[in-house]
Amino acid sequence: MKYRCEGEEILIPDLKKIIPSVRRTVLHSVNIVFSGVIATNMTPSSNRYYRLAESLGAIVTNDIIVNGSPKTTHLIAAKWGTVKVNKCLRYNHIKIVKPDWLIACADRWEKVDEELFSLTKDTVYNVNEKTDIKKVHYESFRESLNQSPSTSRESTPDSAT
């Protein structure tokens, strides 16, 4: 869109183009493989996690790539013990995270620390369940600080100074 100002034509930035462009930089150097997140009978591009990863600039592949380009940097997995999880455990450069990591990156518009969303043996993730982003952040950050709800700052209003 253009407008005239004192005889000069000025181009107005189009947010419909700028926002997706900026958003694609969030995970621009990330190469993702999914495990247990996309149903085998589903076209990957119709899955919300797949579309979200691409909208953030990540490259998504079906198979783990350790020799070649682009090398897999992240495995987003719904449960421990899958073939892909077991394969990625052999490579230190591949981060194994829960799907909530991707949601947190989208919510914050930045590559969030993977350690907050590491997949563990106890992880059971229902990819069909709606995710409450605030709950995801609160629980993950609380776990990372090793605090219980009774010792958190929010539960002691008298501690404010």
Q: What is the CATH number of the domain that holds 29?
A: 3.40.50.10190
Q: Is 7 inside any structural domain?
A: no
More confident residue, 129 or 83: 83
Q: Is 97 inside any structural domain?
A: yes
Distance CA 152, CA 145 (A): 10
Q: Please choose, from the candidates 36, 28, 29, 94, the residue with its C-alpha nearest in 3D space to the C-alpha of residue 67.
A: 94
Q: Is 118 inside any structural domain?
A: yes
**Per-residue pLDDT reduced to its tens digit, 26-49:** 999 999 999 999 988 989 999 999
Q: For the chain, give the percent of residues with pLDDT over 70.
A: 73
Q: Is 50 inside any structural domain?
A: yes
Q: What is the pTM of this model?
A: 0.71
Split into its structural domains, the chain has a count of 1
Q: Is 3 inside any structural domain?
A: no
70 pLDDT above the threshold of 80:
yes
HSE-CB for 34 with a 13 A CA cutoff: 27
What's the domain range around 33? 23-154
Q: Is 8 inside any structural domain?
A: no
- The pLDDT of residue 20 is 83
Between the alpha carbon of residue 3 and those of residues 16, 18, 42, 70, the distances in Å are: 18, 19, 46, 43
Q: Is 99 inside any structural domain?
A: yes
Q: Is 6 inside any structural domain?
A: no
- The pLDDT of residue 45 is 92
Query: pLDDT band at residue 139, thresholds of 50, 70 and 90?
Result: low
